[in-house]
Amino acid sequence: MKKTKRLISLLITLCLMLCCSVTSLTASAEMVNNPEAGIDPQYLYTNTASTELAKSGSKSIYYKGSASGNSSATKVSIYVYLQRYNNGLWENVDVVNNSVSGKNLTVSDTYSSAAKGGKYRTEAHIYVYSGSKYEYIEVFSGTMIFN
């Protein structure tokens, strides 16, 4: 009788462990098959939002952010942070920002103290308003090694 109880307990435990591991495998397979980069956001007031950077001379990086509002947009504000990767963290090294009453805005700047071999990217914080309501969008550029 004791052996039967132990065997049943062991089988139940194994079944639970197997069920949990199958659930985990399924969840990770879904994440692999649906990467976030392939998901198009559904903006409320925004048509497009982007940021980019490029080498501009021997010590300079040109960077910008752009946004275009839809027909209900009344104001656009953009903050673009140029960031350098340092000791496992992205640190802000420069910023440009502006606001406009309207539907379209592009802001840009040139950073003239880029370090050779440094890894850079941009992070843009974009606010698109429709009257007193707004939506906040965060976009990142690809990374660039400055040579």
Structural domain 43-145, CATH architecture: Sandwich (2.60)
The dihedral of CA 31, 36, 38, 41: what is its sign?
Answer: positive
Task: Show pLDDT as tens, one digit a residue, over the chain (147 residues).
Answer: 667 677 676 667 655 554 444 333 322 222 223 334 444 567 899 999 999 999 998 999 999 999 999 999 999 999 999 999 999 999 999 999 999 999 999 999 999 999 999 999 999 999 999 999 999 999 999 999 999
- Tell me how far apart the alpha carbons of residues 129 and 81 are, in angstroms, rounded to a whole number: 21
Q: How far is CA 49 from CA 28, 43, 60, 64, 79, in A?
A: 29, 10, 24, 11, 12
User: What are 129's strand-pairing partners?
Assistant: 75, 134
At residue 110's C-alpha, the angle toward residues 75 and 80, to 5°, is 35
At residue 64's C-alpha, the angle toward residues 35 and 68, to 5°, is 70
- Tell which residue, 134, 87, 83, has the closest CA to residue 111: 83
pLDDT of residue 6: 72
pTM: 0.72
Span 92-127, pLDDT tens digits = 999 999 999 999 999 999 999 999 999 999 999 999
- Tell me how far apart the alpha carbons of residues 7 and 118 are, in angstroms, rounded to a whole number: 61
pLDDT of residue 42: 72
- Tell which residue, 97, 123, 96, 99, has the closest CA to residue 111: 96
